[in-house]
Amino acid sequence: MNGAETLLRTLMNAGVDTCFANPGTSEMHFVAALDRVRGMRPVLGLFEGVVAGAADGYARMADKPAATLFHLGPGLGNGLSQLHNAMRARTPVVNVVGEHATWHRQYETPLASDVEAYARPVSGWLRTCASPRLLAADTRAAVKAAYGPPGQIASLILPADCSWGEADDPAPPVQRPRRPSVDPAALEAVARVLGSGEPVVMLMNGAAVRADGLHAASRIAATTGATVLADTFTARLERGAGRSPIQRFPRYPDQGAALLREARHLVLVETVPPVGFFAYPDQPSWLTPESCAIHTLAAPGDDAVAALEALCDMLGAREDSASIQPLAVPEPATGELSPESVGQSVAALLPEHAIVADEAVTSRGGLPEATAGCPPHDWLSLTGGALGGGLPMAIGAAVACPDRQVLCLQADGAGMYNVQSLWTMARERLDTTVVVYANRSYRILHNEFQRLGLGEVGESARQLMNIGDPDLDWVSLATGMGVEAHRIETIEAFNTHFAAAMREPGPRLLEVVL
């Protein structure tokens, strides 16, 4: 058995059965081995950002890593921004990067590159395989490392001769690691703080913002008066009817600082202290006041849900004290086509267990609020701020959950970064519905320009912040990649086409012209 086959069989033994790939010559033995290893699903991306973002979305929903396959340093380079988002989401990824044969790396060939240097900014674990004899063990170590906890990107660099050389048998299955329990002393300390009557803000992310964690946190809030918030960006938030709702920490630093002004205690649950997304000349980046003590209940990857439930017991927070979101589904909107009316109509029609991949940036109006009472659904955010995550995350989520409807809320500017994603949606016949908010500008840059006090936007600046002239025609773009698409200019048309998209399988794109 050659190295590539051992690698693939080791992945399969570990339950890693999906590989998002954009291969090149140095990966041909890996590609050939796919034909000999039953059950490994290869998914092609026409660009590496698609591959990386899909691996992120997949693992957020599957709760296990996918493998990637990249071609040398430059191929990996194309995937880095979406791996950055995955890193910030603490997503497990087994990141396989092909490399020249060991003896070939010394030469100045066109594609010679320092693959480790490319991988380092996003990798929590990084190893270059030195021999096909080591590949089974290296692959197993990569899967273990990817799981964490917390999840991380484990980059296994695979020289071509390690792929084609004779290898040992595949490695045995990897036990999915347990999350470490929270230290009883930390529990005691936080229980004291919550029982003190002083103002407490509890900020949560990771597993804490799924149903069980939210439920426990809501009991704590009801019992103690603590303010419970989710981070501005979360990897996967479970919400909707029957779940405990949660507000997000505000995005802008002045709003964040205002929220924390009266707090005497900040309790962190799988997150770090809040700071501004960007710096501004006259505003502090660090938002926690001096007078506010910081307590870590659970570090990222710790068993936060068990800790929150233990706190409930310690504080006597009754099971029925949790706030539960009632089902509240509006009628489809009428009147003007706007982000608000689109939000209402989405809320009217969003099916149970939908997955929302949210990269609407500035465009989605009140959609999160409008959908708060929809049937239960999952919400995936752009955790690392690197544009282009929406479409590929939707791919990954749809591959992980073929029985669920995936809705991608996509700003037009951000959607262009990995626009090739549409082709993979068509190729794999994924049940993804993409709503493009076409406002013809990097609206967020206009907002930031104003927040920074830069005054009037002149002609050169306008050139860099508007993406009209020419307008993108998303219907043509989608059609060109095999995805059925419709231009939406009235709310009635949106209602009709969105309902059809929810009802019928396969990918669809609706370009909402704003």
Footprint of a second copy on 442-481 (CB under 8 A): 444-445, 448-449, 452, 454-455, 457-461, 463-465, 467, 469-477, 479-481
Minimum CB separation of residue 297 from a second copy in Å reads 18
Closer by beta carbon to a second copy, 423 or else 491 = 423
Minimum CB separation of residue 440 from a second copy in Å reads 12
Q: Which amino acid is at 402?
A: P
- The site string for a second copy over 247-286 (x = CB under 8 A, - otherwise) reads -------------------------x--xxxxx-x---xx
Q: Does 150 bind a second copy (CB under 8 A)?
A: no
* Residue range at the interface with a second copy (CB under 8 A); choices 39-47, 131-139, 143-151, 235-243: 39-47
Instruction: Report the candidate in 325, 326, 323 with the shortest Cα–Cα distance to residue 220.
Output: 323
Do 166 and 5 meet the contact criterion of CB atoms below 8 Å apart?
A: no
Closer by beta carbon to a second copy, 247 or else 476 = 476
Closer by beta carbon to a second copy, 259 or else 314 = 259
Residues 423-442 close enough to bind a second copy by CB under 8 A:
423, 426-427
Among 15, 121, 225, 335, the residue binding a second copy under the rule CB under 8 A is 121
Q: Does 319 bind a second copy (CB under 8 A)?
A: no
Minimum CB separation of residue 253 from a second copy in Å reads 10
Among 161, 238, 303, 309, the residue binding a second copy under the rule CB under 8 A is 161
Q: Which string of DSSP letters, residue by residue, matches 177-243?
A: PPPPPPPHHHHHHHHHHHHS-S-EEEEE-GGGGSHHHHHHHHHHHHHH--EEEE-SS-S-EEESTTS
Closer by beta carbon to a second copy, 245 or else 506 = 506
Minimum CB separation of residue 362 from a second copy in Å reads 12
∠ CA 81-87-89, rounded to 5°:
110
d(CA 290, CA 285): 13
Do 85 and 389 meet the contact criterion of CB atoms below 8 Å apart?
A: yes
Q: Does 196 bind a second copy (CB under 8 A)?
A: no
What are the backbone dihedrals phi and psi of residue 235, each rounded to the nearest 5 degrees, phi first?
Answer: -65, -45
d(CA 49, CA 52): 5
Residues 51-80 close enough to bind a second copy by CB under 8 A:
73-75, 77-78, 80
Q: Does 1 bind a second copy (CB under 8 A)?
A: no
Q: Residue 3 to residues 32, 162, 203: CA-CA distances in angstroms? A: 12, 6, 45
Do 357 and 382 meet the contact criterion of CB atoms below 8 Å apart?
A: no
Among 383, 405, 410, 421, the residue binding a second copy under the rule CB under 8 A is 383
Q: Does 290 bind a second copy (CB under 8 A)?
A: no
Instruction: Report the candidate in 348, 120, 125, 356 with the shortest Cα–Cα distance to residue 234.
Output: 356
DSSP 166: B
